[in-house]
Structure 1
């Protein structure tokens, strides 16, 4: 579900601050996750299910096993936020330096090395469409998507300008079972959980 304001383009406007206050007030009140996009508030109505969380854990551990110690594949809070763009997102996994986490409030998205998302069964367009649009606007250089519905994914990189704003120029699709490179690190996608067929 998306709640679209008339002037969502206004970065740190009173409307954006009101949306942010609403999102923060809804944390721990309703199930699911709220984020602010260029189109308004997105509510992924389902709380992450076990297979989503298990995939996230696998990816975090696999990344941390190949990254240098000064980096972390972070799966907790806070959000990443760019008030000037009017966007507040919460990646499932954030590849970031320990030093860049020592900040009050939200992380600066420009400090992320990569964002990793596990596609939600209840709202796949949030990952495949909305975040594919918003993450280059935030300056996140690499975006990796893992889709347990189809056992496929993609790694997007090389932000470049377009008439619609910054977009990823390079997309490398993969199937579960293949090795995948996220930024500088290659991990296996073997044995990742898949959502059961409905």
Structure 2
């Protein structure tokens, strides 16, 4: 390793820690949700609306009905952090073994079986672009997206190396009303709410 690349890594690490400190210091004082991506800080300023939260609730409950008892569909904190990648995200639903939640601090992304996101009305590119880039970098094997704007979604799997870094190789699109498989568990998308026109 050359000195220049070591200095670049130290600079990136310092930049990430500064962003992380900022996010943690504003978490309870500024409305919305902050996440750290490969491109910087993302701030979703809008509070989640009813269809978003209802979709999160229904997907979580449907998954927990079909998963083994030791696996949970967790919503909320803590974040999923890949410090070496400079990424800290908080999926709407994290499929994780309950035993892997018995930690202090952030979740190790390698313990996440799947990340589920409900597309935000205010910032859809965060879910459809940024997280499609960031989740394979973190090593999260399955990423499921539910989009109340369109009544459609996708499940992305099979991380593979590319010149631009790890990416998902397989994408299975679905429309609301169809069954969808996340990891090994199939749930209905019937009755998921849509954002009003």
- TM value normalised by structure 1: 0.93
How many pairs are equivalent? 191
- 1:45 deviates by 1.1
Q: Whole-Å Cα distance in 2 between the matches of residues 120 and 167 of structure 1?
A: 22
SS of residue paired to 1:84: helix
- 1:176 deviates by 0.1
1:172 aligned residue: 172
- 1:8 deviates by 9.8
SS of residue paired to 2:84: coil
SS of residue paired to 2:59: helix
1:3 aligned residue: none
1:119 aligned residue: 119
Structure with greater proportional helix content: 2
SS of residue paired to 2:99: helix
Matched, 1:137 2:137: yes
Q: Whole-Å Cα distance in 2 between the matches of residues 97 and 190 of structure 1?
A: 26
- 1:36 deviates by 0.2
1:153 aligned residue: 153
Q: Whole-Å Cα distance in 1 between the matches of residues 114 and 59 of structure 2?
A: 12
SS of residue paired to 1:163: coil
* Stretches (4+) displaced over 2 A: 7-12
- TM value normalised by structure 2: 0.94
In structure 2, the gaps of 5 or more residues are 1-6
1:53 aligned residue: 53
Q: Whole-Å Cα distance in 2 between the matches of residues 104 and 135 of structure 1?
A: 22
SS of residue paired to 2:104: coil
Q: CA RMSD in A?
A: 1.5
1:26 aligned residue: 26
Q: Whole-Å Cα distance in 2 between the matches of residues 139 and 162 of structure 1?
A: 14
Q: Is the 8 A contact 1:149 1:195 kept in 2?
A: yes
- 1:15 deviates by 1.5
